[in-house]
Amino acid sequence: MSEISAFDPDRYKAFERDGWRRSSGEYHDLFGSGTAQAAGPLLDAVNAGAGTRLLDVACGPGIVSGAAAARGCSVLGLDFATGMLAQARERYPEIEFREGDAEDLPLKDASFEAVVCNFGMNHIPRAERAVAGVFRVLSPGGRYAFTTWSPGSAQYRLVNEAVQAHGDPDVPLPEGPDRTLFSDPGLCKALLAGAGFEDAEVAEIPIVLKCTGPEHLIDIIYKSTVRTRALLEAQSLPARGKINRAIAEAARGFEKDGTLEIPMPAVMVSARKP
Ligand SMILES: C[S@@+](CC[C@H](N)C(=O)[O-])C[C@H]1O[C@@H](n2cnc3c(N)ncnc32)[C@H](O)[C@@H]1O
């Protein structure tokens, strides 16, 4: 991806916000069964149980918030996309959801015992600011855990290979944070230690995205992502047709008992506030 200007965090954040507004309506039904697979490991990593005051940052349609409430946690879900919040409120009317920016949490110091962020960190341009905010709102002894997609995710590979073969990987797009930042356990631990966290751990979660067929996968890619969709929509129409066909063809390699099982491992990072 080439740069059309120097990395401008606010410009990138506006690009993400617009993208998630567009995706709000279909995200849950298309992709929710994939991201939900990280909910259990995330909640275990922050010791979420009955009565835990838990914040779900970048909550989207409330998938992890709902799982935390089912464990008896007292949950606040926060996201900056109003459409996502509308979905979350409809699905989980008993949970409080609030509009807010993960880089500038509109919350009191030491007001939560646990904070989770499921596939949100890789969309936030200033990760250090987001992590510092989480540290501030956690009470002493509180735990933080977040997930991001591993670069080994087959969905990324299918898209990247198809764009390399049939399109232009260097179409101008808003420059964003490095997508591979969180694949380096050392960098993750340094990010958390820099904010004051202790005992950082990095683990892999073996997520498998089940799709009814190649068209379903292509729908997920175009309607449940922001950067990837922008990369594909910036291609010429003929190139996009070839790319879609190449993704569909390669996806057939993941067929199992009439469905596609796409391996999308996630990286989970967790730590404790002293
Ligand atoms: C991939 S979705 C993850 C949604 C949900 N956590 C899940 O488990 O499926 C990313 C979410 O991050 C939100 N988001 C991205 N940047 C944000 C920011 N700076 N502040 C708050 N929410 C943000 C988006 O609106 C979107 O709902």
From first to last of the 274 residues of the chain, give the pLDDT tens digit.
Answer: 333 345 889 999 999 999 998 888 899 999 999 999 999 999 999 999 999 999 999 999 999 999 999 999 999 999 999 999 999 999 999 999 999 999 999 999 999 999 999 999 989 999 999 999 999 999 999 999 999 998 888 988 999 999 999 999 999 888 888 777 787 888 899 999 999 999 999 999 999 999 999 999 999 999 999 999 999 999 999 999 999 999 999 999 999 999 999 999 999 999 999 9
Which of 247, 141, 235, 127 is CA-nearest to residue 179? Answer: 127
Residue 6, pLDDT score: 58
Residues 6+ positions from 146 with CB-CB distance below 8 Å: 42, 57, 116, 117, 118, 120, 121, 268, 269, 270
CB of residue 174 inside a 6 A radius of ligand 1: no
Residue 5, pLDDT score: 43
Residue 250, pLDDT score: 95
Residues 6+ positions from 36 with CB-CB distance below 8 Å: 63, 64, 67
- CATH assignment, 9-272: 3.40.50.150
CB of residue 63 inside a 6 A radius of ligand 1: yes
CB of residue 119 inside a 6 A radius of ligand 1: yes
**Do the beta carbons of residue 116 and residue 40 sit within 8 Å?**
no
CB of residue 266 inside a 6 A radius of ligand 1: no
CB of residue 182 inside a 6 A radius of ligand 1: no
What is the distance between the alpha carbons of residues 117 and 68, in angstroms, rounded to a whole number? 12
CB of residue 270 inside a 6 A radius of ligand 1: no
Say whether 77 sits in a helix, a strand or coil. strand
Nearest CA to ligand 1 atom 27: 60
Top mutation candidate among 12, 59, 99 for ligand 1, by most atoms within 8 Å of CB? 59
24 CA: nearest ligand 1 atom = 27
